[in-house]
Amino acid sequence: MGPNLLRVRDLQKEFVLHILNNKRVLAFRDITFDVPACSFVGIAGRSGSGKSSLLKCLFRTYLADGGSAIYQSAAGDLVDLTDAPDDSVLDLRATEIGYVSQFLRPLPRVTALDLAARPLLQRGVPRAEAHEVVSRYFERLSLPRDLWDGYPILFSGGEQQRVNLARALAARPRLLLLDEPTSALDSGLQLEVVRLLQEARADGVTMVGVMHDTALLDELSDEVITMQDGAIVERQAPRLALAQAAP
């Protein structure tokens, strides 16, 4: 593990719902952790504990209200993802920071191959080459070949999730944020996803992943952070913990 790729300090998110008489809803507070380069930090916790909101703040889909998330870019700049200019955020998303959501947002009339190849195409990679990279992931994820030219808007949840994963992995980001990437997959496919993520990590992709399945999370993570009611309640290094627990 190298130096920290991401340093999160006292991060806080609260929603103010103006249409509900300015009701305030706290998503999380006082979140502090480091993500060393080439590591996998897992985030565990029950539904509603603030895990997904945390990832969205790191991707800037949500605006944090307090604290910072300092990312070290490929160019060596330290960028606070919570208040960097929009264009900087867009640049990082295009080249360095990926996000796999639970649900794919399919585009009308865009095939699975083109959708998954999109980040590469937008970087100027020739179409044939981009399709080849994506195909390899489709194959690994056992996405039936007759779906490759189909429209993901018609796919099942599990098929969409595989398109989503292929898209993120093909783009080979420096930092990949994963929100329940295996929730709609059967156990055989889940294990294949674990292998793919381990390969990506070995290849230099740093990851922060939210997963319900604690066994998968332990398998993948260098550190597991457990959240409850919007706060961190536990941190542990799973392999170390397992080794200590062994007789």
Partner 1 sequence: MTTAQLHGNGVDASGARPGWAINVDGLTKLYGRGCHHCLETTGPARDRNVCPHCQTTVACAGVSFELRPGHTLGIVGESGSGKTTVLRCLYGDMAPTAGTARLRDFQNGATDIFEADGQERRRIRNFLLGMVYQHPRQGLNMQISAGGNVAERLLATEWRKVAAIRERAGSLLGRMEVPLMRMDDIPAHFSGGMQQRVQVAKALANGPSVVLLDEMTSGLDVSVQAGVLDLMQELQRDEGIAMVVVSHDLGVVRLLCERTLVMKNGRVVEGGVTDQILEDPHHPYTQLLVSSVN
Q: Does 240 bind partner 1 (CB under 8 A)?
A: no
Dihedral sign, Cα of residue 119, residue 120, residue 123, residue 124: negative
Yes or no: say if 204 and 197 are a contact pair by the CB < 8 Å rule.
Answer: no
d(CA 108, CA 151) in angstroms, rounded, equals: 8
CB of 136 vs partner 1, minimal distance in Å: 23
* Size (the chain), residues: 247
Find the binding residues for partner 1 in span 123-162 (CB under 8 A). Answer: none
Whose Cβ is closer to partner 1: residue 1's or residue 17's?
Answer: 17
Interface stretch with partner 1, choices 38-46, 103-111, 205-213, 237-245 (CB under 8 A): 103-111
Residue 15 contacts partner 1 per CB under 8 A: yes
231 Cβ partners below 8 Å, 6+ apart?
28, 29, 30, 31, 50
Instruction: Retrieve residue 60's tokens.
Output: 């800037």
Count other C-beta atoms under 10 Å from residue 35's C-beta.
Answer: 23
Is position 75 an interface residue for partner 1 (rule: CB under 8 A)? no
Smallest distance from partner 1 to CB 83, Å: 7
The correct pick among 37, 121, 191, 237 for binding partner 1 (CB under 8 A) is: 121
**Beta carbon of residue 16, minimum distance to partner 1 (angstroms, whole number):** 8
Report if residue 103 touches partner 1, rule: CB under 8 A. Answer: no
Site for partner 1 in 38-57 (CB under 8 A): 56
Alpha helices for 123-202 (secondary structure H): 127-140, 157-170, 187-202
**Nearer to partner 1 among residue 151 and residue 192 (C-beta):** 151
The 10 Å Cβ neighbour count of residue 170 is: 23
Nearest CA-CA partner of 99 in 196, 194, 164: 164
CA proximity to 51, closest of 162, 178, 220: 178
Residues 183-222 as x/- pattern, contact with partner 1 by CB under 8 A: ----------------------------------------
Distance CA 37, CA 204 (A): 8
- Binding residue (CB under 8 A) for partner 1 from 26, 110, 125, 237: 110
Give the footprint of partner 1 on this chain (CB under 8 A).
Answer: 15-19, 56, 60-63, 83, 85-87, 89-90, 107-110, 121-122
